[in-house]
Structure 1
Amino acid sequence: MMKLFFDNLVYYIQAVREGRQKHALYSHSAEVQVRLQFLTCVFSTLGSPDHFRLSLEQVDILWHCLVEDSECYDDALHWFLNQVRSKDQHAMGMETYKHLFLEKMPQLKPETISMTGLNLFQHLCNLARLATSAYDGGSNSEV
């Protein structure tokens, strides 16, 4: 199911970028929001088991398709932020958060980053700090 979702997302975004969606029934923003709501539902505690997560490749596809699109940039960052903040969502684990923090967030231009992007960056910084302190604390207790 997730393969079909991501194949469709890539196809849709490519069609938008090539101008083949001019006479669509719904706006581009509405199309993107519905897709993000679908992912929210799938990765909720009621939608799937807690161990079911997005792969790094799928996160990269989301980033490339949505964050790199100026029209839905903020919607995508808001979705990522909700994943980081919510205990009821499990789309991403610590490895994915690390990937976002170290690989994806630095790609954003500082002069154009929105408050949502800054908020996401702050939450990812806090997670990195907590993970580092937990790692350091674990190694200190063994010595």
Structure 2
Amino acid sequence: MSKPSDPNAEMMKRLQEMQKEQLMISRLTKELSTILDKKQLQLVINTSFKTELGSNDCMMIRDVKGNIEIFGNGTENQIHTTDQQLDRYVKNCLDSAEPLLFDLKELSPLPSCFTEAKNSGMRMAVGLGL
């Protein structure tokens, strides 16, 4: 028979997890507060975000007067005209209070900015509305 778990041990474990999350948020906030231009933003994305979130690739997408601007992955900033497929995913992310998971192998049609990620072997993407 299994023993009932110790409520104090469970509470301590949860408090430690919360403390780790808060520490990660604090480190990311500190890094973000030092950004003065797009090059520094790209550096923070490629170093701090990847390290803290344990991801291989990270990109930020924003809408600038009808154009989609993409930062990340060590490439020069990319500017795309409005992409209807991408607009749908960005809108879903912005409307959701929770992170959204996208299976890149099942997306059809694939937004242009996800093509490189899919071709590199990435299977899942996470969308966060900030």
> Whose helix proportion is higher, 1 or 2?
1
Name the TM-score, length of structure 1 as normaliser: 0.27
Structure showing greater radius of gyration is: 2
> Whose strand proportion is higher, 1 or 2?
2
